[in-house]
Amino acid sequence: MTDASLPTSPAWTAVAATADVPPGTGRVVNADGRLVAVFNAGGEYHAIDNQCPHRGGPLGKGSLDGHTVVCPWHGWSFDVRTGINVDTGRIRVRCFPVAVENGRILVQVVNEPVCGSG
Ligand code: FES
């Protein structure tokens, strides 16, 4: 059961326990068959598409510095709040709504970029 204040469509999917994503780390999770990268940036949770638009590297396995994740394959960097590539400002990955409830991280898998601007 999700918080009554959360929009209900599309459905929220529990993807991990908050304890499994400590501050300063990320994790690859499965949200309804889609691989999503979830991050804990200083206690704020964010979710972006796991697949790097360069050559498909796993962004959820990248290193997190503040709000920036660095792809582990070739070093492209993305703002986990917006999915925007921090070097070009143009390339972006999808960004998904995140909520925390009862110690679980919930992700709403949507088809359009919904976080930040750009
Ligand atoms: S696959 Fe991510 S930088 Fe190349």
Q: What is the pLDDT along the chain (118 residues), one digit of tens a residue?
A: 455 566 667 789 999 999 999 999 999 999 989 999 999 999 999 999 999 999 999 999 999 999 999 999 999 999 999 999 999 999 999 999 999 999 999 999 877 656 654 4
Distance between CA atoms of 61 and 57, rounded to whole angstroms?
9
Q: Give nearest CA residue, ligand 1 atom 3.
A: 74
Give the CATH number of the domain where residue 90 resides: 2.102.10.10
Q: Which amino acid is at 68?
A: T
Is 93 domain-assigned? yes
Q: Give nearest CA residue, ligand 1 atom 4.
A: 74
Instruction: Read off the pTM.
Output: 0.89
Q: What pLDDT is recorded for position 65?
A: 97
Is 113 domain-assigned? no
Is 16 domain-assigned? yes
Most informative mutation of 28, 68, 71, 93 for ligand 1 (most atoms within 8 A of CB): 71
Is 38 domain-assigned? yes
Is 57 domain-assigned? yes
Is 70 domain-assigned? yes
Total number of domains in the chain: 1
Is 116 domain-assigned? no
Is 3 domain-assigned? no
Question: How many angstroms separate the Cα of 93 from the Cα of each of 4, 9, 84, 101?
Answer: 29, 21, 6, 25
Most informative mutation of 48, 76, 87, 88 for ligand 1 (most atoms within 8 A of CB): 76
Structure tokens at 97: 């709504």
Q: Which amino acid is at 11?
A: A
Domain of residue 18, residue span: 12-108
